[in-house]
Amino acid sequence: MTGRTMHQTDPTDSTDSTDSIRASGTTDSIGAADTATETLDGTGTAAARAVGAAHAASGAAAMAAEARAPDTTGAGARLLRAAAVAATLPYLALKTAWLAGSDIGIPEGSVLLEPTVFFTVANAVTMAMDAAVIVLALLLTRPWGRRVPAPLLLVPAFTATGLLTPIIAGFPAQLVLRAVGLGADPAARAAGESFLHGWVYLVVYGGFIVQGLALAGLFVPYARRRWGGVWQGPGGTRLPSPTGVAAGAAAALGTVLGALYAYWAFGGTAWLGAERAAQHSAETGAVSAVHAVCALLAGWCAVLLARGGTRRPVWPLAAGWTGAAAALCWGLYLLAVPLAPGIGEGGGTPSVILLAYAAQVVTGCLAAAVLTAFATRRRRPA
CA distances to 107, 175, 221 from 185, in Å: 20, 14, 43
Q: What confidence tens digit (pLDDT) does each residue in 181-221 have?
A: 887 777 666 666 678 898 999 999 999 999 999 999 999 99
Average pLDDT score over residue span 119-144? 93
Give the model's pLDDT for residue 347: 57
| DSSP H/E element including 321 | helix 314-336
Task: Give every CB contact of residue 377 below 8 A, 6+ residues apart in sequence.
Answer: 236, 239
Identify whether the C-beta of residue 54 lies closer than 8 Å to the C-beta of residue 29.
yes
CA atoms of 215 and 81, how far apart (whole Å): 8
Considering 195-204, 256-265, 301-310, the range whose residues carry the highest mean pLDDT is 256-265
Identify whether the C-beta of residue 9 lies closer than 8 Å to the C-beta of residue 222.
no
Q: State the sign of the Cα–Cα–Cα–Cα dihedral 358, 359, 360, 364.
A: positive
How crowded is residue 187: how many other Cβ atoms within 10 Å of its Cβ? 9
Q: What confidence tens digit (pLDDT) does each residue in 332-382 have?
A: 999 988 877 766 555 578 899 999 999 999 999 999 999 999 998 876 443
* pLDDT beyond 90 at 40: no
Task: Give every CB contact of residue 32 below 8 A, 6+ residues apart in sequence.
Answer: none
pTM of the model as a whole? 0.77
The interaxial angle of helices 12-38 and 44-67, nearest 10 deg, is: 170
Give 71's pLDDT tier (boundaries 50, 70, 90).
low
Q: Which residue did the predictor score with more confidence, 309 or 125?
A: 125
Q: What confidence tens digit (pLDDT) does each residue in 169-180 have?
A: 999 999 999 888
3-state secondary structure of 309: strand
The length of the chain is 382
Cα distance from N-terminal residue to C-terminal residue, the chain = 26
101: left (phi over 0), alpha (psi -120 to 50) or beta: left
Partners of 236 in the beta sheet?
309
How crowded is residue 38: how many other Cβ atoms within 10 Å of its Cβ? 9
